[in-house]
Amino acid sequence: MNKKEFRKELLRGKGSCYYAVSKAPEKYRDMILWACRNNFSYDTQSEGTRAWFVYTLVGCDDDTTPFINAAAEALRNCSSYGNWKADYLSELLLYFASDGSEAARDAVREKYDELYKMLLMRERFPDGVFNERDFFSRLCECMADDKYSFLEIANDIGRLYRNNSLYDGYYFDWLYVTMGKKYIRTLKKLAEKSEDIAWYVKKSEEYEAEEQRRRAEWKSSGKFKRRTPEEIKEEFLNEYDLDTLDDTVKSVPVKLRGEHDWHGVHMDVLKMESLGLKAPVASLYHIYDSTYCSCCREHALRQLGKRRKLSNEILQECLYDCNEDIRSYAKKLIGRRENIRGDINEK
Ligand SMILES: [Zn+2]
Rounded distance from Cα 71 to ligand 1 centre (Å): 27
Distance CA(237)–CA(252), nearest Å, equals 18
Rounded distance from Cα 22 to ligand 1 centre (Å): 28
Rounded distance from Cα 281 to ligand 1 centre (Å): 18
14-27 average pLDDT score: 97
Contact 92, 69 (CB under 8 A): no
Distance CA(10)–CA(54), nearest Å, equals 9
The predicted-structure confidence for 98-143, as pLDDT tens digits, reads as follows 999 999 999 999 999 999 999 999 999 888 899 999 999 999 999 9
Rounded distance from Cα 116 to ligand 1 centre (Å): 34
Neighbours of ion ligand 1 (CB under 5 A): 293, 295-296
Contact 271, 232 (CB under 8 A): yes
Q: Which is more confident, 291 or 259? A: 291
The predicted-structure confidence for 31-67, as pLDDT tens digits, reads as follows 999 999 999 999 999 999 999 999 999 999 999 999 9
HEC-encoded secondary structure of the chain: CCHHHHHHHHHHCCCHHHHHHHHCHHHHHHHHHHHHHCCCCCCHHHHCCCHHHHHHHHCCCCCCHHHHHHHHHHHHHCCCCCCCHHHHHHHHHHHHHHCCCHHHHHHHHHHHHHHHHHHHHCCCCCCCCCHHHHHHHHHHHHHCCCHHHHHHHHHHHHHHHHHCCCCCHHHHHHHHHHHHHHHHHHHHHHHCCCHHHHHHHHHHHHHHHHHHHHHHHHHHHCCCCCCCHHHHHHHHHHHCCHHHHHHHHHHCCCCCCCCCHHHHHHHHHHHHHHHCCCCCHHHHHHHHHHCCCHHHHHHHHHHHHHCCCCCHHHHHHHCCCCCHHHHHHHHHHHHHHHHHHHHHHHC
pLDDT exceeds 90 at position 259: no
Distance CA(10)–CA(17), nearest Å, equals 6
Least confident segment among 161-165, 218-222, 316-320, 324-328: 218-222
The predicted-structure confidence for 136-191, as pLDDT tens digits, reads as follows 999 999 999 888 999 999 999 999 999 999 998 888 888 888 887 778 888 999 99
Rounded distance from Cα 263 to ligand 1 centre (Å): 6
Q: How confident is the model at residue 218 (pLDDT cuts 50, 70, 90)?
A: confident
Rounded distance from Cα 90 to ligand 1 centre (Å): 24
Domain boundaries along the sequence of the chain: 3-221, 229-346
Rounded distance from Cα 315 to ligand 1 centre (Å): 20
pLDDT at residue number 268? 95
Of 93, 124, 134, the closest CA to residue 110 belongs to: 93
pLDDT at residue number 29? 97
Angle 51-58/29-37 helices, nearest 10 degrees?
Answer: 150
Quote the pTM value: 0.91
Rounded distance from Cα 284 to ligand 1 centre (Å): 13
Percent above pLDDT 70 for the chain = 99
Contact 300, 284 (CB under 8 A): yes
Average pLDDT over all residues of the chain: 93
Length of the chain in terms of residues written:
347
pLDDT exceeds 70 at position 224: no
